[in-house]
Amino acid sequence: MSELNAVTGVSGYSGRHITRRLLGMGNRVVNLTGHPDRPHEFGNEVTSASFNFNDPAALTRSLEGVSTIYNTYWIRFAYEGTTHAKAVENSKILIRAAQDAGVRRIVHVSITNPSIDSPLPYYSGKAMVEEAILASKLSYAILRPNVLFGDGGILINNIAWFLKHTPVFGVPGSGEYMLQPIFVEDLADLAVADGQKSENLIYDAVGPDIYTFNDLLKLIKEIVHSKTMIMHMPPKLALIATGIVGKLMHDVVLTPDEVVGLMGNLLVSSEPPTGKTLLSDWLRENCDWVGTSYFSELRKHFD
């Protein structure tokens, strides 16, 4: 019988691509999700089970027979009672349930530069989850990406949308801080390959390009033929502006913690790149649709 794997959120961004690969290899997949009745592209090929964070025994039962769990569960920002502290607690419940169910291995998607001492709940929370995995009896691979790009990717698409549809684009501070995006397909390839291994791994999953934010905007402007004016402004003013836009778009465009992380160069790695796809190549191949529609994070996860 084919191997059974669990993926947290098969309709999520990276989870969708990981699931495609697992099914293509002939594996069976169970979808762990907060919305088990929500339809997804895989139809009857994938069964769904609730996270059941409030019922760890039920969560453990849903993981029985699973060999490897691919965990992409996290939250980008606190919203309607869902906090990073709660996400950490839920992640620990998931890790214990996997261990109790006899799962062999966890492939966990983290973030570059996590730190328990970080003042940013996103980064300190990610570090806490990593510590919980290391303290468990599970074999593990921990991948640390930062910005993902590809079909359905929010950040790069929405930057392109603003550059196509607004007269001014506000940049917090100098724009000379860096980021190192990875193609979502490359991340999925790494994750699934690591799922077949037995040794414990922790590494940055980052692409071959390192951009300053200014250079990233310049690249996207060129490819989408934008005439938008780039305006550098104090970070607080940029947050006020994006807050107004967010209310109009029914979304959270940018958070204060994201600005601090970006300006603190937390979205770049000191390790060799593990992805292979150039963002510039991907943008040129997909310029006919990138930025034509705005992708709302709130609508995707909370509506």
Q: Give the residue-averaged pLDDT of 149-171.
A: 94
Domain check: are 102 and 222 in the same one? no
Give 190-219 pLDDT, tens digit per residue.
999 999 999 999 999 999 999 999 999 999
Domain check: are 298 and 166 in the same one? yes
- Asked if residue 67 is part of any domain, the answer here is yes
Domain containing 127: what range?
A: 4-144
Examine the fold and report which residue of 94, 126, 144 is the final residue of a domain before the chain moves on.
144
- Asked if residue 184 is part of any domain, the answer here is no
Give the bridge partners for 35, in sequence order: none
- Asked if residue 201 is part of any domain, the answer here is no
pLDDT for residue 128 is more than 90 = yes
Domain check: are 93 and 169 in the same one? no
Domain check: are 217 and 278 in the same one? yes
Could you give the C-alpha distances from 302 to 18, 24, 35, 299, in angstroms and in order?
23, 30, 11, 6
Domain check: are 107 and 131 in the same one? yes
- Asked if residue 203 is part of any domain, the answer here is no
Domain check: are 134 and 167 in the same one? no
Domain check: are 161 and 80 in the same one? no
Report yes or no: 95 and 60 within 8 Å, Cβ to Cβ: no
Q: Which of 90, 100, 111 is nearest to 8 (CA)?
A: 90
Percent of the chain topping pLDDT 90 = 88
CATH code: domain of residue 130: 3.40.50.720
Domain check: are 133 and 160 in the same one? no
Domain check: are 158 and 134 in the same one? no
Could you give the C-alpha distances from 240 to 105, 121, 174, 216, 299, in angstroms and in order?
44, 21, 17, 22, 21
CA distance 265 to 178: 6
CA distance 297 to 155: 10
pLDDT for residue 298 is more than 80 = no
Domain check: are 62 and 167 in the same one? no
Q: Which of 128, 94, 86 is nearest to 110 (CA)?
A: 128
Q: What angle do CA 102, 194, 192 make, to 5 degrees?
A: 90
Show Cβ contacts of residue 135 under 8 Å, excluding neighbours closer than 6 positions: none
Domain check: are 118 and 90 in the same one? yes
- Asked if residue 202 is part of any domain, the answer here is no
Domain check: are 127 and 161 in the same one? no
Burial class of residue 129 (count of CB atoms within 10 Å of its CB; 0-12, 13-18, 19+)? buried
Predicted pLDDT at 303: 58
Report yes or no: 221 and 175 within 8 Å, Cβ to Cβ: no
- Asked if residue 191 is part of any domain, the answer here is no
CA distance 143 to 300: 24
- Asked if residue 186 is part of any domain, the answer here is no
Give 40-98 pLDDT, tens digit per residue.
899 999 999 999 999 999 999 999 999 999 999 999 988 877 899 999 999 999 999 99
Examine the fold and report which residue of 123, 144, 165 is the final residue of a domain before the chain moves on.
144
CATH code: domain of residue 290: 3.90.25.10
Examine the fold and report which residue of 118, 144, 170 is the final residue of a domain before the chain moves on.
144
- Asked if residue 89 is part of any domain, the answer here is yes
Please give the structure tokens belonging to residue 250: 């029914």
- How many domains does the structure of the chain reveal? 2
